[in-house]
Structure 1
Amino acid sequence: MTEAIQIEQKIALEAIEWYLSLSERDDDHVLRQQWQEWLEADSSHQIAWSRIEQVNNELSSLSSPLSRGVTHQSLNKAAKSRRHFLQSLAGVAIISGGSWAFLKNDMFLAPLMADYHTGIAETRQVTLVDGTQVQMNANTAFSVDYSEQQRYLTLLAGDVLITTAKENRPFLLKTPWADMQPLGTRFYVKQRENQALLAVYEGAVNIIRQDRFPTLLIKAGHQISFAADQSGSVVPAREEALAWQQHMLIADNMALADVLTELENYHHGWLRCDPTIATRRVSGTYPLMDVEQVLRALSATLQIELVYRTRYWIMLRPKQTV
């Protein structure tokens, strides 16, 4: 396995976000100091950043006039959007025959190159051309493929609440582990790291998992968790899963490690906990837009302490006794 693949996708995307921010605000000394703190927080940050610099160096040395033209257009601060920037940059890699393709092939850039994406602490509501409404949680990305015969959405990462528009063309949501075929419905799909969740609030949804599992129909009021090689039981759907729409996290006997995973979508950096406290149970309602406040509350209620390597890298560990 290559070093690039070993880097977490979240870290790779953070490195790209830092690169773009610094390119757009190269005279912002506060931003540069914050980037330096992020860079020094963990060796994997430095590895990810070195990959970005490698790409930049390769683009700067391109000899083809066509490549140079696209590079100049891509790096221009007046580029219409970050997605346009990244797509142009990917085009340069193809034109130049460079070695940058590993970034795109390993899905490091896929979320940022999607038709729709949100960043850390960003939510968004999208209305598609057919009237389908998609509400996106933070760190979410999906692409759209509509034709005269079908409507396909591909969820690359994150959480989406979808209310499908009624029409004759079939609708299909593709995820890495299963396809979701809604039947006139409002449903929620969460695709994070090694686990996924489907909750149906109106209508019904077929889960199609190719040859591994038979097609499963989930009716309104029910939900199911699944991973690449297994499926959970069908249980009552929980509206609390949608609390992020109000920028809240409702924890009902959640493991501390799972709480931190949710908070990371609203925190620029890493949140980690000592393995000895990872399974401590957490209950309560917490504001996602104030992660520092949540961490202080957890510290008080669970008798743990917060260790700051930088403001971006925070470790939770058992409170030390004197």
Structure 2
Amino acid sequence: MSDAIQLEQKIALEAIEWYLALSEQTDDKLLYQQWQAWLAADPQHQLAWSRIEQVNNELNTLPTPLSRAIAEKTLFKTDKSRRHVLRSLAGIAVMSGGSWVYFKNETLLLPLLADYRTGIGETRSVTLSDGTQVDMNANSAFSIAYSENQRHLTLISGDIMITTAKDTRPFLLKTDWADLKPVGTRFYVRQRDNTALLAVYEGAVDFIRGNHLPLLRVKAGQQLSFNATELGSVMSAQESMLAWQQYMLVADNMPLTEVVAELQNYHHGWLRCDPSIAERRVSGTYPLNNIEQVLKALAATLQLELVYRTRYWITLKPQQKI
């Protein structure tokens, strides 16, 4: 898939997030101003928004036009109606190379269908019904399935820090590639496209895969990386991984491509790193609430060039020699 199509998908999903936020918070003047700024920032934003309006006008179950829908406080009163709208909006289209691209893959919308989610640059702290605390990094999503006999969470994307509450029901966190069963604990899980990481700060967490028996127990002060087929070595857990809770990124000899991936969670737009510099190493502490400042600092330190297609579409490339 080309960068252009990936960007357009990202913008389309941002537009849907704005649609939902405005529909759920109809009296938030600041939110409305932020949406107006996002809309004016890029013609692609306006195009994606116009497609949402078109889809909305085709839905018999919703009032039209969109401006009236936003004003209605009764919109999205139930999960069922909200999910119906999201699935309908999965048909949103954006222009790509002169042809229309439709999002038929519901996995793109899974974060928006989650019980709890955060957007670009947004962190959140959630207290569940049993008292369990979940701190969410930006661009993260998870769902819950509590019953009389169990407490199950499913991490759909992003990063969450969990402090479990005491309860007679067993607790289980499901990720794409393993189940994690905490034993009275505080632990952090980060899930990306191709890898995940578990870090335990209090108690212990049983790592379960396949036959549903614990493969190993990760104890306090330890961390473990894993994916669909591989399991990394147990290493010392780093508190610096939680710097996002203070809107900071701490890089310790981190590949530039990973730094850019973390910054992407706080940037409304598209950040790319030229493959030729992807493995350059970065060390330092960077503020996540000022991505432009961070990019300029990286460019100066690593002798890079920032190439802007738009204000929000930025590529890091090697500095051209004169």
TM range (shorter): 0.7 to 0.9
Would you say the 8 A contact 2:206–2:216 is kept in 1?
A: yes
1:127-138 paired onto structure 2 within 5 Å? 127-138=127-138
Q: How far off is 1:211 after superposition?
A: 4.5
Aligned residues with identical type, % of pairs? 58
Would you say the 8 A contact 1:123–1:136 is kept in 2?
A: yes
- Normalized against structure 1, the TM-score is what? 0.81
Would you say the 8 A contact 1:181–1:206 is kept in 2?
A: yes
Would you say the 8 A contact 1:188–1:199 is kept in 2?
A: yes
Would you say the 8 A contact 2:57–2:64 is kept in 1?
A: no
CA distance in 1, matches of 2:188, 2:301: 31
2:84 counterpart of 1:77:
no
Q: How far off is 1:29 after superposition?
A: 6.3
Q: What number of residue pairs does the alignment pair up? A: 301
Letter in 2 for 1:77: I
* Residue of structure 2 equivalent to 1:288: 288
CA distance in 2, matches of 1:74, 1:226: 47
Q: Single out whichever of 150-159 and 5-14 deviates more from structure 2.
A: 5-14
Structure 1 residues 162 and 81, CA gap change in structure 2 (3 angstroms):
farther
* Residue of structure 2 equivalent to 1:34: 41
Secondary structure at 1:301 match in 2: helix
Q: How far off is 1:108 after superposition?
A: 2.2
Would you say the 8 A contact 1:223–1:235 is kept in 2?
A: yes
CA distance in 1, matches of 2:78, 2:309: 33
* Residue of structure 1 equivalent to 2:97: none
Letter in 2 for 1:60: N
Secondary structure at 1:111 match in 2: helix
2:81 counterpart of 1:88:
yes
* Residue of structure 2 equivalent to 1:43: none
Would you say the 8 A contact 2:125–2:135 is kept in 1?
A: yes
* Residue of structure 1 equivalent to 2:231: 231
1:133-282 paired onto structure 2 within 5 Å? 133-211=133-211, 215-282=215-282
Letter in 2 for 1:72: P
Structure 1 residues 281 and 92, CA gap change in structure 2 (3 angstroms):
closer
Secondary structure at 1:134 match in 2: strand
Ranges in structure 1 where 5+ consecutive residues have no aligned partner: 40-45, 63-67
Q: How far off is 1:143 after superposition?
A: 1.1
Q: How far off is 1:78 after superposition?
A: 3.5
Would you say the 8 A contact 1:123–1:138 is kept in 2?
A: yes
Q: Deviations over 1:242-291 (max 9, x none)?
A: 01011110000001110000000000011112111111100000101111
CA distance in 1, matches of 2:9, 2:44: 20
Would you say the 8 A contact 1:37–1:312 is kept in 2?
A: no
Structure 1 residues 81 and 178, CA gap change in structure 2 (3 angstroms):
farther
CA distance in 1, matches of 2:142, 2:288: 22
Question: What value does the CA root-mean-square deviation take over the aligned residues?
Answer: 3.5
Structure 1 residues 316 and 105, CA gap change in structure 2 (3 angstroms):
closer
CA distance in 2, matches of 1:275, 1:156: 28
Q: How far off is 1:15 after superposition?
A: 3.7
Q: Deviations over 1:220-247 (max 9, x none)?
A: 1110111112111111111111010111
- Normalized against structure 2, the TM-score is what? 0.81
Structure 1 residues 149 and 245, CA gap change in structure 2 (3 angstroms):
same
